[in-house]
Structure 1
Amino acid sequence: MIPVQGYDGQKVAVLGLGRSGLATAAALQAGGAIPVCWDDSPEGRARAEAEGYQITDLTRAGAFEDIAALITSPGIPHLYPAPNAVIAAAMRAGVPVDNDIGLFFASWATSNWANFDVAPRTICVTGSNGKSTTTALIHHILTEAGRPAQMAGNIGRGVLDLDPPEGGDVVVLELSSYQTDLARALTPDIAVFTNLTPDHLDRHGGMGGYFAAKRRLFAEGGPDRAVIGVDEPEGAYLANQIAMGRNDDRLIRVSSARKLGDWGWSVFARKGFLAEWRKGRQIASIDLREVTGLPGAHNHQNACAAYAAVRALGIAPREIEAAFHSFKGLPHRSQTLAEINGVRWVNDSKATNVDSAAKALQAFENIRWIAGGLGKDGGVSGLLEHLGSVKKAYFIGHSARDFALELAPLAHEICETMEAAVAACARDAEAGDTVLLAPAAASFDQYPNFEKRGEHFAQLVAALPR
């Protein structure tokens, strides 16, 4: 646990009592603060009360009179589409609002660091797609290279639940726009921006607000080194804002679309090969085509970003390449579940939007595509140009018929349920085919989250006859 600094003897309100909220209350208490907790749900309040925390109704008048700060869970809106009533009341009372990420950066370094030969480092990863894979891959490379590392944030543990660092430790954090948008302290040593595509627009008041939330990771404190994916206009803009000139190697540009050899430091992937260039010459190259845990151009971008981040810590290219080959990938993200009678079954349940589904569709050939669920604003017509490898689609969920209409004349079958879709794919698939779950939709019509959807798919695949 990371004890929170700066609130000794003061009351600090905690709003939202899920995993991160309870970890925040514990870290506040460990640092000498007095956490007072609230959750809109009785179940959340009961969990906190069972752990001995004070429950205070933050919706009542005058609730913030003796409160030093309000720490809110990232999922609770503070600005768009409308502020939560408790957050609005705190702001009216002049009470600072923060989240666990801000508390982490304000409390991470202690006077004990003066005794370390090598200071601990933090690597933070943000972006629209690939954050989790890039974060996990960085952590895997560090671990394989013998560097002590912890992983947290939007993946794994809550940030305040981490172990206090020792000398040379590296913490790798995945940070969503919800987490970066409100944190009052953001001071990573290395910050990574993967890419930007439309998502969470209602929460951020549009694309500009969404990008602004991501950009805060690079603007509030300023990392010592930035790794920026420059294949989208926003990434190119962010790189230009950071760099003081073409040869400024505090910035590492990353691309999975083109050569970037003319900059001070760049890492890019072309035709399945990763290349590192510094000051106009190639330093290293890795063949990614046989790295089974990182299939497709979107994962090659993730590989480039992770490579750049660990190279900034001095990890050798040969060590990175070996770690790539031992990386198994993350569940629900282009995860190969099995090969049965020559048919590959791939779980990419995390592909919840058009852009991530398009990347999955470009990573494989001879695809039997399972898609559908709760469709998002804008529909799926943007996938029409990425269907060249799809032999047939099997649509499920609330938006099954809408998908069929939008993607006509694609050969398809309305299956409605995952069970029916897996059975139909098992009936139709031939050796050399890939059955790909890449829904291009949210899961909430049939499942509580994309993980449960992917787990159900995996269970059905595991039950298929061999």
Structure 2
Amino acid sequence: MIPVSGFDGARVAVLGLGRSGLSSARALRAGGADVICWDDSPLARAAAEAEDFALADLGRDGALDGVARLIVSPGIPHLYPAPNRVVAAAYVAGVPVDNDIGLFFRSFATAGWAAFDQPPRVIAVTGSNGKSTTSALIHHILCESGRDAQLAGNIGRGVLDIDPPRDGGAVVLELSSYQTELARALTPDIAVFTNLSADHLDRHAGLGGYFAAKRRLFAEGGPDRAVIGVDEAEGRFLANQLSEAPADDRVIRVSSGAKLTGPGWQVFARKGFLAEYRKGRQAGSIDLRPIRGLPGAHNHQNACAAYAACRAMGLAPRVIEGAMHSFPGLPHRSQIVAEAGGVAFVNDSKATNVDSALKALLAFDRVRWICGGLEKEGGLAALKPGLANVLKAYVIGREAEGFALQLDGVEAEVCTTMERAVARAHEEAQAGETVLLAPAAASFDQYDNFEQRGDDFAARVRAAIGSGQ
């Protein structure tokens, strides 16, 4: 645990008692704070009571009197589409609002670091797509190289649940826009921006607000090194804002598909090959094609970002390459769950939006595509470049017929259920083809979350292969 500093004897309120909320409450108490908690869910309140935390309805008049700080869980809106009633009351009362990420950055460094030969470092990763894989890959590479590393944030452990770092240790954080937007302290040593595509627009009042939330990690934090994906205009803007000159190597530009030139520091992938250039000269290269845990151009972008972050940590190119070959990939993200009869079955349930589903389709040839679910705003037109790889679509979800009608030029079978979709795809697939779950939609019409959907796909695949149906 990282005890929270700066609130010894102070009264601090915690709103939302999920993983991050309870973690914040424990870390605040460990740092000497007088903690009061609230969640609208009776089950969540019971969990806090079981740990002897005091409960108080923070929305009642006077509940925030004497409170030094309100700590808010990521899922609770603090501005758009409208502030939560407790957050709104804190604004009126002048109570500062923060989250667990802000508490982490204000408490991570301690006086004990003076005895370390090398101070611990924090690598923070944000962006729309690929940040989980990028974070996990950085962590994997650091561990394989012998570094003491921990993975936390949106992946791994809660940020305040990690162990106090040892001499020369590293913490890799995956941070969402919900977390970066509200945190009052953001001071990573290395910050990574993967890419930007439309998502969570209601929470941020549009794409500009969404990008602004991501940008805070760099503008507020002032990292020593910034790794910036420049395949979108927002990334190019951000890299330009952080650079003082063309040769400024505090910014490492990253691309998947475009050759980057100039006197600065660049890492890019083209046709499956990663290349690193610094001061106009090539400094490293990796053939990414045989790395099974990183299939497709979107994962090559993740590989470039992770490579750049690890190079900024001082690792050699050959060390990074060796670690990449042993990276198993993440569940529900281009995860090969089975192979039978020359057919690969790939679980990309995390492809909950059109952009991530398109990248999954482009990663494989001859695809039998399982798609559908709770459709997001914007329609499916942006999928068109990837539809040429689709042999047939097997559509699931309560609105499967409407989803199928939007897949122009693609043979589509309305299956509704995962069981039916997997059975039909398995029955029709031939050697050399890929059965791919990349829904391009949320899971909530049939599942609690994308993980449950991916697990169902994997279970149905195993059943189909085992029965030989």
Please tell me the TM-score bracket, short chain as reference.
over 0.9
The secondary structure found in structure 2 opposite 1:157 is coil
Conservation of the 8 A alpha-carbon contact between 1:373 and 1:398: yes
Distance 1:154 1:427 in 2: 37
Does structure 1 retain, via aligned residues, the 8 Å contact 2:4–2:28?
Answer: yes
- Taking the TM superposition and a 5 Å limit, the aligned residue runs for 1:237-316 are 237-316=237-316
Shift of 1:384: 1.9
Q: Does 1:430 align with 2:430?
A: yes
Task: Measure, in 2, the Cα distance between the counterparts of 1:454 and 1:303.
Answer: 23
Secondary structure (helix, strand or coil) at the match of 1:161 reads coil
For the 8 Å contact 1:227–1:254, the answer to whether it is kept is yes
Whether the 8 Å contact between 1:345 and 1:434 is mirrored in structure 2 is: yes
Unaligned runs of 5+ in 2: none
Question: For residue 353 of structure 2, what is the aligned residue in structure 1?
Answer: 353
1:394 aligns with 2:372: no
Matches within 5 A, 1:116-195: 116-195=116-195
Paired residue secondary structure (1:409): coil
Partners of 2:411 and 2:390 lie apart in 1 by 9
Residue aligning to 1:85: 85
Moved more, 288-297 or 399-408: 399-408
Counterpart of 1:462 in structure 2 is: 462
The CA deviation at 1:85 is 0.2
The residue identity in structure 2 corresponding to 1:226 is A
One-letter identity of the residue aligned with 1:281: R
Q: Deviations over 1:13-38 (max 9, x none)?
A: 00000011111000000000011000
**Structure 2 letter corresponding to 1:132:** S
Following superposition, the deviation at residue 465 of structure 1 comes to: 3.0
TM-score (ref. length: structure 1): 0.99
Cα deviation, 1:186-206, whole Å, max 9, x if unaligned, reads 000000000000000000000
- Secondary structure of 2:213 counterpart: helix
Taking the aligned partners of 2:129 and 2:275, their CA distance within structure 1 comes to: 21
SS of alignment partner, residue 139 of structure 2: helix
CA distance in 1: counterparts of 2:450 and 2:360, whole angstroms: 15
**Structure 1 residue 51 displacement after superposition:** 1.1
Matched, 1:231 2:228: no
- Structure 1 SS opposite 2:344: strand
2:142 aligned counterpart, secondary structure: helix
Cα drift, residue 273 of structure 1: 0.2
Q: CA deviation at 1:463?
A: 1.6
Identity %: 70
Contact 2:226/2:251 (8 A) holds in 1 = yes
Aligned to 1:13: 13
Q: Which amino acid aligns with 2:25?
A: A
Aligned AA (2:227): V
Take 2:195 and 2:73, find their aligned partners in 1: how far apart are those partners?
A: 25
Query: 1:39-85 CA distances to partner (integer Å, 9 max, x unpaired)?
Result: 01111111100111001110110111111100000110000000000
The aligned residue for residue 75 of structure 2 is 75
Distance 1:451 1:465 in 2: 21
CA distance in 2, matches of 1:263, 1:415: 53
Q: What's 2:329 paired with?
A: 329
For 2:287 and 2:371, locate their aligned partners in 1 and report how far apart those are by CA, in whole Å: 31
Counterpart CA distance in 2 for 1:426 and 1:218 is 46
The answer to whether the Cα contact below 8 Å between 2:28 and 2:35 also exists between their aligned partners in 1 is: yes
Deviation at 1:399, TM superposition (A): 2.9
Deviations, residues 202-224 of structure 1 (Å, cap 9, x unaligned): 00000000000000000112000
Structure 1 residue 261 displacement after superposition: 2.8
Asked whether the 8 Å contact 1:261–1:281 carries over to 2, the reply is: no
Aligned to 1:114: 114
* C-alpha distance in 2 between matches for 1:335 and 1:298: 13
| Cα separation, 2, equivalents of 1:168 and 1:459 | 41
Inter-CA distance 263–195: structure 2 relative to 1 (3 Å threshold)? farther
User: Aligned-residue CA RMSD in angstroms?
Assistant: 0.7
Distance in 1, Cα, partners of 2:205 & 2:245: 33
TM superposition shift of 1:262: 1.4
Q: Contact conserved, 2:422 with 2:464, CA < 8 A, in 1? A: no
Alignment-mate amino acid for residue 304 of structure 2: C
- 8 Å Cα contact 2:257-2:271 kept in structure 1: no
Deviation of 1:402 after TM superposition, in Å, equals: 1.8
Residue in 1 aligned with 2:60?
60
Distance 1:431 1:257 in 2: 29
Give the structure 1 partner of residue 96 of structure 2. Answer: 96
C-alpha contact 1:11 1:36 (8 A) present in aligned 2? yes
The alignment partner of 1:388 has SS state of helix
Judge conservation of contact 1:190–1:226 (CA < 8 Å) in 2.
yes
Question: In structure 2, what residue type is equivalent to 1:254?
Answer: V
Residues of 2 paired with 1:278 and 1:385: CA distance? Answer: 33
Q: Which amino acid aligns with 2:35?
A: P
CA distance in 1 between counterparts of 2:99 and 2:255 reads 32
Aligned residues: 466
Deviations 1:170-190 (A, max 9, x none): 000000000000000000000
Other-structure match for 1:33 = 33
SS in 1 for 2:160: helix
Structure 2 counterpart of 1:24: 24
Opposite residue 207 of structure 1, the aligned amino acid is: L
In 1, distance between residues paired with 2:398 and 2:203?
A: 23
Aligned mates of 2:239, 2:287 — CA distance in 1: 26
TM-score, normalised to structure 2's length?
A: 0.99
Per the TM alignment, residue 401 of structure 1 is displaced from its structure 2 partner at its CA by 1.4
